[in-house]
Amino acid sequence: MMVVYEISCDEGHQFEGWFASSGDFDDQLVRGLVECPMCNSRHVRKVPSAAFVNVSSQQESSQSSAAIDVRALLQLVREQVLANSENVGNRFPDEARKIHYGDAPIRVIRGSATLDEAKSLVDEGIEFLPIPDVSDDNLH
C-alpha cells in the first residue's frame, strides 16, 4: 500500500509525495528528508487534496500487484516538468552550465541537447534528467 500526498513548499511549488503510510510521511518530515524537487526547500507541508491509496486486489498475484503503469507514471512526470519549468530549447547545455557555475539564477529548465553535449554536462558534474516522450504517437 502507498499513500500519495500533495505537498507544497514555502515558495509555493507543489509536488506529489509517495509514502508507505501517513506515519512514514511524518517521520520523514521530522528528519528533514522531504524536500521540494524544484528548489530543495525542506519547509514543506501537506496541502488539501483527494488522498490516493494504492491497494492491490487480494485476487492478484504478488508479482502483478507490484506492477505499475510505467508509461502513465512517466507521462505524469513529463506533464509536471512541462508545467513547472522554463523551456530554453537548444540553449539547454549553455543555460545548465550558467546555473551550475552561478552565472544565472537557479531555476528549473528544460530543453534539448545532443548526445555529445549531454556527455560534456555529465563530465562537468552538471546534473540533469532526460525525460522521454511517452505519448502513444511516439511509441509505435
84 band by pLDDT with thresholds 50, 70 and 90: confident
- Is the pLDDT score of 13 beyond 80? yes
Please give the model's pTM, rounded to 2 decimal places: 0.49
> What pLDDT was estimated at residue 76?
82
Rounded CA-CA distance 128/80 in Å is 15
Rounded CA-CA distance 51/3 in Å is 7
Q: What percent of the chain has pLDDT over 90?
A: 29
- Is the pLDDT score of 33 beyond 50? yes
Extract the C-alpha cell encoding 53. 491509496
Extract the C-alpha cell encoding 45. 507541508
| 57 vs 134, higher pLDDT | 134
> What pLDDT was estimated at residue 58?
47
Q: Coil, strand or helix: which one is 80?
A: helix
